[in-house]
Amino acid sequence: MSNVKSAYRKPYVPKVEATWWTKNPFYFRYMLREGTSFLALFVAVELIFGLFMFALCDLNSPEPTVESAAPYLWWVQSFVGNPIVILLNLVSLGACLFHAVTWFALMPKAVRVFMNKNSTELVPESLTVIGLYICLLGATVVILGAAFITMP
Amino acid sequence: MHPQRSDEPIYWLLFGAGGMVVGIVLPSVLVVLLVAGMFSPDLNSGMLSYSHVASMLGNWFTSLAIFGVIALTLWHALHRIFHSLHDFTIRVTKLHWFALYGAAAALTFIALAFQFLIYVKLF
């Protein structure tokens, strides 16, 4: 972003249509990938909304009742259980996986790991990518395992 | 005169860490949310039932992990939305920067405040 203001310079700003990315499948895929960030934002806001509704509950009541936990129960039953939100979560899941595939694919280009300190040879790209897929698998097993084991 | 240092590395670091979180952690978080949405949990039984979440947010480790996931996802998403404003043919100004990074900072502190409040109130 340049903030240079000069009387001698009148930069040419080409006109770009807002639909430029629909005309080429490569550009379309690029915008689809950028669009996944909106769904990630949606998930974060949804979770913060859940935290807010949980904080509204009467947390000091000795035994939780339907009345004391009413705000949270509304969030988990009526909001997260709403068909539109379920659909949005499903689309977000697809978006996260699309993001994961493209993110892992670009990682060897962004992070350059040398084989050892005496050479300029890089570790094979497949090693980084496969490592990240193993991380995804491991995190999924750990989180889902913990969630289902601790489920009352 | 020292040249002015860029603050971009900080946001880029948060964006990079957030990219990892969105790719690696968020899919299973969404599976949990989908299961909760479909099986309608109540007070003491089911995925994300009241007592299940109370035990998650009452544990400092789980609560911090949830905070990390939310905060990094926010910084990642809003950083990317800021940088794709140009692709939506919007002339980017410093005001856009303050609005989007400000939103990320505000939501991060809101999440932290709620989690701290719940943690302190429960135990």
Write out pLDDT tens, residues A34-56. Answer: 999 999 999 999 999 999 999 99
Which of B33, B56, B92 shows the shortest C-beta gap to A1? B92
Beta-carbon contacts below 8 Å between A and B: 179
Q: What is the pTM of this model?
A: 0.90
In b/e form, how buried is each residue of A79-117, taking b as 16+ CB within 10 angstroms? Answer: ebbeeebbebbeebbebbbbbbebbbeebbeeeeeeeee
Q: Which residue of A has its CA nearest to B26?
A: A96
Count CA atoms closer than 13 A to A119's CA, side-chain side: 7
Interface pTM, i.e. ipTM = 0.94
Chain B residues whose beta carbon lies within 8 Å of the beta carbon of residue A18: 88-89
Per-residue pLDDT of chain A (152 residues; tens, 9 = 90+): 455 566 677 778 788 888 899 999 999 999 999 999 999 999 999 999 999 999 999 988 888 899 999 999 999 999 999 999 999 999 999 999 999 999 999 999 988 888 888 888 888 999 999 999 999 999 999 999 999 999 88
CB contact under 8 A, A60 and B48: no
Q: What angle do CA B40, B73, A112 make, to 5 degrees?
A: 135
Chain A residues whose beta carbon lies within 8 Å of the beta carbon of residue B73: 40-41, 43-44
Question: Quick check: B52 pLDDT over 60?
Answer: yes
CB contact under 8 A, B57 and A73: no
Over chain A, what is the mean pLDDT?
91
Counting beta carbons within 10 angstroms of the beta carbon of residue B40, is it exposed (0 to 12), middle (13 to 18) or buried (19 or more)? middle
Distance separating alpha carbons of residues A52 and A47, to the nearest angstrom = 9
CA distance B46 to chain A (A): 6
Residue B96 touches chain A, beta carbons under 8 Å:
no
